[in-house]
Amino acid sequence: MKGIVLGTAGHVDHGKTALVRALTGVETDRWAEERERGLTIDIGFAPLHVDADLEVGVVDVPGHEDFVKNMLVGSTGIDAVLLVVAADEGPMPQTREHLSIARLLGVRHGIVALNKVDRVEPEWRELARDATLEESGRILGHRDWPVVEVSTLTGEGLTELRAHILDLANELPARPEEDVFRMPVDRAFSVAGAGTVVTGTTWSGRVTTGDTVRLLPVDLRARVRSLQVHGSDRDSVGPGSRAALALVGVETSRATRGAVVVSGAAWRSHRRFGARIEVPPESPREIRHGQRVRVFLGTGEVMARVLTERRETVARGTVAWALVDCETPVVARTRDRFILRFYSPVVTIAGGQVAERDPPRAWRRRLESWRALLDGSPSGAIHAAVALAGPTGLAAENVPLASGVPAALAKKTLESSARLRRVRERWFDGDRASAESLESVRQTVGKRFSSELVDAVVTELAERGVVVVSGPGIRLPDHAPVLRPAEQDALESLRSVLESARLEPPPPAELAARVGVERDLLNDLLRLLVEQREIVAITPEIYVTRDAESEARRIVRTVAGHGSPASPAEFRAALTLTRKYLIPLLEHMDRNGVTRRTPQGRVAEDR
C-alpha cells in the first residue's frame, strides 16, 4: 500500500483543524487547553481514507506565530501541503511564512482550500482566490496548486477536495522501500503493557516487528515490540506512514522529540555539516558569517553557527555554501533539507540542504563535489561521495547516507560503475586509487619497472608482512603519523587530561580549551588516539583512556555477575559516577557485549 503524508498549513483561525475534522472525522486537537481556547498548539494526526490502495496520513499543524516551532516538527517528512486560507481574510502573515517553509523544505506539491466561503459573497471569493494565487506564485515560483472552495459549516466543496487529494496522492511518486530505515520522533510516551512508544513519519525504508533499531543521537539499541499506523496493528511499516513503534530497551525519558529511530550501523550523529543555504527574498533578516541560528532538521531543534564560504553575508534572495557548526549533535543524511530561524526574536530566515556530514577543515575545497551531490544524477552523487572519501574509501553501508541516494539504487549504481572499485567492503574512485596507492612506491623505483611488476611485488611484500595494504594505501607495519612540535605538545596535554579525568572526561568544547587547540585539531588528535588504541570512544562526546575503560569493564562485570540483575544505583555506587557519565558507560558496555540489559536490570554476558 502506497503511503503519503499531507500536512496542513495556513494562518491561525483559518480553519485547518475544522477542515481536517470534516475530512477525516478525527479531532486532532488532543489537549484540553487547545479545545478550550479553540487554538491548535501542537501537531495532531488523522488518517484520511480516499482509496483502498492509498494510506494518507494528515498532519495538522498550529497556525499561530508563537507555535511555528511545532509547525516545523509537523512539516518535516510531508509529501504535500494542504494550504488553508480563509475566504473572508485572504493570505495572512503565517500563510506566507508556511508557504516559504514548504518551499525551503522542498515540498513542491499541494492543494489550496479556500475555506469559510459561506461567509462571503462570490465577488469576495474571487478576490481571495486571486490574492492566494498571487502570494503562492510569488513565494513558490508557480501557481500550479489547484484552489478548491470549501466550507466546513455547510460541507460545500468537501467532495471535490477529496477528489483532488486522491489525484494528488496518485501523482506523487512512492518513496522507495529498499532503503535505510529512518523515523524522526515527534512524540514519546509510556503505555502500560507496551512500554515506551514513539511516533513519527517514516522517512525511508521499512521496519518490522522484532527488528533491532537504534535511537539517535543518544545511540541506544532497542527492539520493536509492536507497530501501529493510526491505531491499527501492523507487522511492518514502510515509508510515508504515520507510525507508532513500541520499543523495548529504551526509557521514555531518553526518547524525546527530536530523536531519530534508525536501523543499521551506518547512522551517526554529527555536530557539523556542509550545506547550501538559501535566504528567500521575503526573509526578515540576512545571515552574517558566524551568525547564531536555530537549526530545525527532522523533528529536532539545535543551536548552531553558520560559517559562510567567503565569510560573506548571505543576502535576501541569494544562495551560499556554508558550514553549519551545531552546539549539540544532529542526525543527517546528504540531501536532507532543514530550516534556519533567528535565535531571538525567533523568525524564519532561511533554509538549506545538507551536502556533507562532518566535513574536514578544508571544506571550502570540496564545493564542486557538494554541487554534484545536491544537483547531480544519482550516479553523479555517488561518484562525488566516493571521491570525497579519498584514499580511505567509503564503506558500502555508508554510500546511501553520504550520497543521499536510496540504498537499492545506490547498490545498483555502484555495481554497474566502471570507474568505482570495491576493495572488500569499501568503495574507491578507481582512477584516483590507482594513481595514489602506489605513488610512493613508484617514486622510489622510478620508471625502470612496469606497474604490473610493482603491483605483484607489493602483493608479495604484503603477504610476507613487510608492508601493510590498507584500502588503496600502503604503509610499513610500524608507520605512524608525524606530528608537528605544537601538535605533539597538544597530544601529550590531551593524554594527560584524559588520564587524570579517568571516567569523567571534560566535554569536547572544554577539552579543546584545556588542551589549547581548535575543535578540528582536537577531533583529529582524538581519532589518532583511538586508532592507536590508547583511548576508547564511549560516545561521540566522551573519550576515556583504555586503562580506565578496562578497569570499568572489570567493575561492571563484578557488579553484574552476582547472579541477579544489577540496578543503575548498584553500578553508580561501585563506579562512583554521576548519571551524566554512568548511563553512557553502561550503554557502551551493552553495545560491546559486557552486559545485557533486561527489564529487571543488567546482567553480565558470557565471556
State which amino acid sits at residue 74.
G
Beta strand pairing call for 468-470 and 80-86: unpaired
DSSP string covering 543-578: EEEHHHHHHHHHHHHHHHTSSSPBPHHHHHHHHT--
> Could you report the per-residue pLDDT of 416-431, keeping only the tens digit for each?
888 888 877 888 887 6
pLDDT for residue 339: 95
pLDDT for residue 447: 57
Is residue 545 predicted with pLDDT exceeding 70?
yes
Q: How confident is the model at residue 167 (pLDDT cuts 50, 70, 90)?
A: very high
**Number of other CB atoms surrounding residue 274 within 10 Å:** 27
Q: How confident is the model at residue 480 (pLDDT cuts 50, 70, 90)?
A: low
> Could you report the per-residue pLDDT of 230-251, keeping only the tens digit for each?
888 999 999 999 999 999 999 9
> Could you report the per-residue pLDDT of 16-48, keeping only the tens digit for each?
999 999 999 988 766 666 566 665 767 888 889
Which of these ranges, 470-479, 481-490, 524-533, has the smallest mean pLDDT? 470-479
pLDDT for residue 601: 86
The three-point CA angle 433-421-175 to 5° equals 125
Average pLDDT over residues 453-463: 76
Mean pLDDT of the chain, nearest integer: 88
Is residue 408 predicted with pLDDT exceeding 80?
yes
Q: Where are the beta strands (DSSP E) in 265-423?
A: 269-279, 291-297, 300-308, 318-331, 337-342, 348-357, 394-395, 420-423
pLDDT for residue 220: 93
Q: CA gyration radius for the chain?
A: 27
Is residue 53 predicted with pLDDT exceeding 60?
yes
Which of these ranges, 334-338, 453-457, 579-583, has the smallest mean pLDDT? 453-457
Q: What are phi and psi of 498, to 5 degrees?
A: -70, -35
Which of these ranges, 305-314, 374-383, 473-482, has the smallest mean pLDDT? 473-482
Which of these ranges, 293-307, 339-353, 408-422, has the smallest mean pLDDT? 408-422
Residue 5 CB contacts under 8 Å (≥ 6 apart), including other chains:
56, 57, 58, 59, 77, 78, 79, 80, 201, 240, 241, 242
Average pLDDT over residues 433-459: 63
Is residue 382 predicted with pLDDT exceeding 80?
yes
> Could you report the per-residue pLDDT of 170-188, keeping only the tens digit for each?
999 888 889 999 999 998 9
* CA atoms of 360 and 378, how far apart (whole Å): 23
pLDDT for residue 61: 81
Average pLDDT over residues 397-410: 95
| Distance in angstroms between the alpha carbons of the first and the last residue of the chain | 45
* CA atoms of 109 and 6, how far apart (whole Å): 10
Quick one: DSSP state of residue 257?
A: T
The three-point CA angle 483-519-260 to 5° equals 125
More confident residue, 482 or 360: 360
Is residue 440 predicted with pLDDT exceeding 70?
no
Is residue 103 predicted with pLDDT exceeding 80?
yes
Quick one: DSSP state of residue 592?
A: T
Closest by CA to 591, choosing from 63, 214, 144, is 214
The three-point CA angle 429-431-436 to 5° equals 90
* CA atoms of 543 and 361, how far apart (whole Å): 21
pTM over 0.75: no
**Percent helix, percent strand, percent coil in the chain, to nearest 5:** 35, 30, 35
The three-point CA angle 173-176-182 to 5° equals 120
pLDDT for residue 435: 53
More confident residue, 532 or 95: 95
pLDDT for residue 483: 74
Is residue 151 predicted with pLDDT exceeding 80?
yes
pLDDT for residue 509: 81
Is residue 345 predicted with pLDDT exceeding 70?
yes
* CA atoms of 213 and 543, how far apart (whole Å): 24
